Structure 1
C-alpha cells in the first residue's frame, strides 16, 4: 500500500506559512454532530458485521434511536445556548426517516455534510461505480432536502476505499462545481487544514476532525468518565489556543447524540463549550466556512511551501 495513500506529503508542523483566521482568531472551532441512521437488519457485508449480536440487536439499535428521539434535541438546545452552529455528519437516509430533524437544522443554518446513506452500509467491497453512486446519492439527497451543496465527507462508519476522496471530489464538481466536494474528515494527520491530492486536480483539503476528542472513542472505546472528558477538551483547546498565537489552528469536537447527550454526560460537555466559547479570539464556525476560508487565503501558499520543502512540483 502506498504511504499515506499517496494523497499528501510529509509536511512538518513547524515553520509553515502563517494561517490567519477572521478577526485575528487563534482557533477555528467547530462542532460536528454525527446524526446517523442505522438499520436493525441491514444487508450483510462480508467485510464487517453491523452488530455484535444476531438480529434483532436491540441494545445497539435502540440506543442509537434514543439519540435521534431524545439526545439530538438536548444537544441542539445546548449548541443554541452557546451560539454554535453544528456541522452535521449526516447519514442521509435520515432525510427520509426523520425530516423533522433536517428541518430543525435548516432553521438554525447548520451545515450538512455527507456521512454516507446508512451507518450500517459500508464502503468495503463496493466497486468504484457503486461507491460513486452512493456518494452521488448522498450529495443529491442533501441538496434536495436542504438546498445545501455538500462540501464535506466522512465515510460511513469510517469505511474507506482507495478511491473515496477522488470520487467525492469528482461527484461534487460534476453536480455543483467548486461549491461542493471540497474537504474530507477521513484523514486524522494534522491540527490545521492541509492540501490533499485528488486525481481530478481539484483544490481539495483535509479538515481536522479529532478522533481523540470524538465522544464515541472517548466513552465507548477508551471508557473515559464524563468529568475527565471535560478536562480533555479543555486541555486540547488550551494547547491549540497557545499554538494558534503563531498560526491559526482548528479544534473539532465530533459528537454523537446517543453518547454526549445522555443525561449524566451533558453537563461535562456544556462546561467545555462554555470554556472554549468564553475566549473572544476564537472563531466559532462550521466546517464549510473553515474550508472555504483556507482555500481562498492559505491553500496556494501551503502548496508552494510543501513543494519547496520536498523539492517537488505540486
Structure 2
C-alpha cells in the first residue's frame, strides 16, 4: 500500500525561503492553453471510455473541433492584446492535423510542452515501455515541428502511471504540471536523480473544471480568477507565488464566455510586479536560483531525509 506519490515530502508553506522572481515580481503569471486533438472513434481503453455516449460521439468531437477552428483564433487574439505568450499543453497529433496552428504559435514565441499525442488515448493500461515510447514520440514531434525540445509535461487527459514523472525526467524534461499540491514550484524526487520540478497548474481555475464539472457561470469564473490573483499577489510580496490559468479553446473562447476571461486578464496585467511568463521560464528560473536552497530547507525540516 502506498500512502503518497513518493515524489515530494511535506513542506509547510509558511517559513520557506523566499522566491525572487525577475524584476522583483510578486507573482509569476502564466496561461496554459490546452490545444488538443480528439479522435471521433479512438482505440478502446480498458480503464476509461473516451466519450460519455455511444459512438459516433459527434457532439463531443465537434465542439472540440470548434476549439481548433474558431476558439483558438479568439484566444490567441486576446492573449496578444494583453502581451501574454501562451504555454501550450499540446496534443502533438495537432502538428500533423493542424500545422497552421503550430505556425501561428511559433510566430508569437509561445511555449510548447507535451500533453501526449491524442487526448483520447490514455496512459492507463500501458506498460512502462509503451508509456516511455509515447512520451518520447510526443517530445520528438514537438522538437521536429518547433525546433525546440519541450521542457514540460502534462499527461494526456490527466492519465498517469506510477512511472510518468520518472520517464519524462529521464528523457530530458525539466518540469511537470501533473501535481496540484502547491502555489509555488517545488523540487521533485525522481528515480533517476535528475533535478526536476513541479510548476503550479491550477485545476480550480481550469476552465473545463469550472464550466463542466462545477457548473460555474462565466461571470463567476472571471471573479474566481481575480480573487485567486488578489490572494497570490498579496502573499507573493513575502514569498513569491505562481498563478496559472489553464484554458481550452472550446471552453473559454465560446462567445458568451470570452468577456469574463478578458476582464480577468485586463485586471491581472494592470498590476505592477507581475512577471508575465511561460511554464518553461518559471522552471528554468527556479532551477537556476531556488531549487537547491528549497531542497536543503525541505531536507532540514524533514529530519535530513
Q: Tell me if TM exceeds 0.5.
A: yes
Encode CA deviations 1:140-160: one digit per residue, 9 max, x unaligned: 000000011110000000000
The counterpart of 2:274, out of the listed 261, 274, 282, is 282
Aligned to 2:149: 149
Structure 2 CA distance, aligned partners of 1:272 and 1:229?
A: 9
SS in 2 for 1:161: coil
Structure 2 CA distance, aligned partners of 1:295 and 1:151?
A: 12
Structure 2 CA distance, aligned partners of 1:195 and 1:287?
A: 15
SS in 2 for 1:268: helix
Aligned to 1:295: 287
Aligned to 2:17: 17
Equivalence map 1:1-314=2 (5 Å): 1-172=1-172, 181-313=173-305
Structure 1 CA distance, aligned partners of 2:220 and 2:52?
A: 28
SS in 1 for 2:144: helix
SS in 2 for 1:188: coil
Task: Kindly report the root-mean-square deviation, in angstroms, between the aligned alpha carbons of the 2 structures.
Answer: 0.6
Aligned residues: 305
Could you list the structure 1 runs, at least 4 aligned residues long, displaced by more than 4 angstroms after superposition. none
SS in 2 for 1:162: coil
SS in 1 for 2:239: coil
SS in 2 for 1:30: strand
Structure 1 unaligned blocks of 5 or more: 173-180
Give TM-score, length-normalised by structure 2: 0.99
Give TM-score, length-normalised by structure 1: 0.96
SS in 2 for 1:6: coil
